[in-house]
Copies of this chain bind each other. A is one copy, B any other.
């Protein structure tokens, strides 16, 4: 099938990257669908509905408005929100001529994804069996942002090689798959995964890698000249890196238990991230003849500690345990950028633009197993009897589960997440191969000019404006623009 597509594409000379019909159609139709489905299903929860909140206060004997969940979680929500839109968005601006797309498409698909996530997660987790309504509140917004993150991670592997329409499809299916695997992992297997090492990073990473593998472009080297950074694009990417790094403690603690759970998750993540920075710098420096640092490693591998603490952050992993996790993941992730990504590209035909294999897939998987080990070794000495119940939610059907069993289920959950990513990604990849989605040709990748009105060359900026009164110059100038154009067309 792939060959057929290629033939069709090549038959018309250049691939058709016009998305003037498909992109507006997708945006409009899906947004209207959201409105209809929200009208049918979505309502305020009892902490954001004025009538229900006043009733709840009376019935639950709540004395102060500060007990509203908003005050426990909203600051963390805003931090997570920044990570999704500025963090992921700017992290993907590192390419010299793909910054508009990096931040702009991230913006588009996250804005769609969070709406679809509210529905999908609502259906699976909080559909009222009587009224068939979904109640949303602050925690739903955090979860919806989390759910988008899976698809944004996948976007990292595909960056520069797909059209915005394809990214919308990646998000539609990504969010759907996320909601299902999350239901299996958190509800059926009863795993704990507050920061989503498994459900977000391992899933999102392998989902993106599988799609990218199916979409392999043998002639991608034709776009090689644009597949790299320039000085200022690397600086923009550092904005993304730092906001991810700084707010990761909020990410991992956003939906943990009120009280001790949130500070513990924040401290553990804070420490693991700090540790990652030092080992990423060390390996980066060692890898180069003159000890020079590579921005790719600083932008990415410094974050590996946060990914790997996604599951264990809320457990009693101890501060030094967090440092050890960050230490190892900083090393593994940097090694990944140095050796594994080139190896995968060469042998497995896997093109991974942002190296999500090293930042999300592997650290996410490791985070899942770290969580399993920490859970398996949990005991009443450390947690207390009540604490053990509280942290692992050993209640209801799961009242008799032991920490050892929990560890097994955590490990199983990690495998489920990876399997969902790989299989789901494979299928979505096949869908994306249809030659109708407006993806760029192999010699046209990593170029904003395909999907954006890009302002005139920066070179113009340094021509003193006064010259424009000089007719001779203006003529010359027009000549250039025209001749450029003709060269490109020829």
Q: Which of A4-12, A203-211, A276-284, A355-363 contacts B (4 or more CB under 8 A)?
A: A276-284
| Given A99-B235, A136-B267, A292-B451, CB of A282 within 8 Å of CB of B461 | no
> Complex formed: what's the CA distance from A488 to B236 in Å?
29
Query: Which one, B47, B99, B327, B467, contacts A231 given CB within 8 A?
Result: B99
Given known A242-B86, A242-B89, A458-B231, contact A111–B226 (CB-CB < 8 A): no
Asked if A483 contacts B488 (CB within 8 A), the reply is yes
Is A324's CB within 8 Å of the partner chain B? Answer: yes
Q: Is A49 an interface residue (CB 8 A)?
A: yes
- Do A50 and B316 contact each other (CB < 8 Å), given the known contacts A242-B89, A456-B228? yes
In this assembly, does A48 line the interface, its C-beta being within 8 Å of a C-beta of chain B?
A: yes
Asked if B24 contacts A295 (CB within 8 A), the reply is no
Cα distance A74–B76 in the bound complex, in angstroms? 9
CB interface residues, A 238-269, toward B, < 8 Å:
238-239, 242-243, 245-247, 249-250, 257-264, 266-267
Q: Bound state CA distance, A480 and B283, in angstroms? A: 32
On whether the beta carbons of B48 and A264 are closer than 8 Å, the reply is yes
Asked if A395 CB lies within 8 Å of chain B CBs, one says no
User: Chain B: which residue is nearest A330 at the CB level?
Assistant: B31
Q: Which residues of B contact A405 (CB under 8 A)?
A: none
Chain B CB count within 10 A is highest, among A39, A324, A458, for A458
Q: A39-B320, A99-B235, A458-B462 are in contact. Are A274 and B114 (CB under 8 A)?
A: yes
Q: A266-B138, A273-B111 are in contact. Are A298 and B104 (CB under 8 A)?
A: yes
User: Which residue in B108, B262, B266, B271 is a CB contact (below 8 Å) of A278?
Assistant: B108
Report how far A112 CA is from B285 CA in the complex, Å. 16
Assess the A137–B459 pair: CB atoms within 8 A. Answer: no
Distance between A325 CB and nearest chain B CB, rounded to angstroms: 10
Q: Are B72 and A278 in contact (CB under 8 A)?
A: no
Determine if B267 and A111 form an interchain contact, defined as CB atoms under 8 angstroms apart. Answer: no
> Knowing A39-B320, A230-B455 touch, does A20 contact B260 (C-beta < 8 A)?
no
With A65-B258, A455-B231: A387-B50 Cβ-Cβ less than 8 Å:
yes
Q: A residues 54-85 with Cβ under 8 Å of B? A: 54-55, 57, 64-72, 74-76, 78-79, 81-82, 85
A66 touches B71 (CB 8 A): yes
Q: Say yes or no for A18: interface residue by CB 8 A criterion.
A: yes
Question: How many Å lie between the Cα of A320 and that of B298 in the bound state?
Answer: 42
Q: How would residues 460 to 479 of chain A score, 1 for a CB under 8 Å from any chain B CB and 0 otherwise?
A: 11111111101001001101
| A277-B387 contact, Cβ under 8 Å, with A264-B44, A462-B457 | no
Residue A229 is within 8 A (CB to CB) of chain B in the complex: yes
Known: A49-B260, A78-B247, A318-B43. Is A141-B278 also a contact (CB below 8 A)?
A: no
With a CB–CB cut-off of 8 A, which chain B residues contact A138?
263, 266-267
Is there an interface contact between B72 and A65, defined as CB atoms closer than 8 Å? yes
- Note all chain B residues with C-beta closer than 8 A to A260: 47-50, 52-54, 68
How many copies altogether? Answer: 3
Q: Is the Cβ of B28 less than 8 Å from the Cβ of A282?
A: yes
Chain B residues, Cβ within 8 Å of A480: 476-477, 480, 488-489
**Interface range on chain A: under 10, 10 to 19, 20 to 34, or 35 or more?**
35 or more
With A115-B274, A480-B489 as known contacts, state yes or no: A137 contacts B288, CB within 8 Å: no
Which residue of B has the minimal Cβ distance to A70? B263
Residue in B closest to A20 when the chains form the complex, CB atoms: B291
Known contacts A319-B136, A384-B51, A458-B461, A65 near B259 by CB under 8 Å: yes
- State whether A264 touches B50 (Cβ < 8 A): yes
Is A289 on the interface with B (CB-CB < 8 A)?
Answer: yes
Q: Is A35 an interface residue (CB 8 A)?
A: yes
CB contact under 8 A between A108 and B461, given known A24-B283, A75-B74: no
Q: Which residues of B contact A54 (CB under 8 A)?
A: 260, 384, 386-387, 390
A50 closest partner in B (C-beta): B387
A-B contacts, 27 listed (Cβ < 8 Å):
A18-B291, A23-B285, A32-B327, A43-B319, A44-B316, A44-B318, A49-B260, A50-B384, A57-B259, A65-B258, A65-B259, A66-B66, A66-B71, A66-B258, A74-B76, A75-B78, A78-B246, A81-B246, A82-B246, A96-B455, A97-B231, A100-B234, A111-B278, A137-B263, A293-B453, A458-B461, A476-B489
A-B pairs, top 6 by smallest CB distance, nearest first, are A20-B291, A65-B259, A111-B277, A53-B260, A50-B387, A51-B384
Known: A74-B263, A137-B263. 6 other contacts (CB 8 A): A20-B288, A23-B291, A100-B234, A111-B273, A115-B275, A141-B266
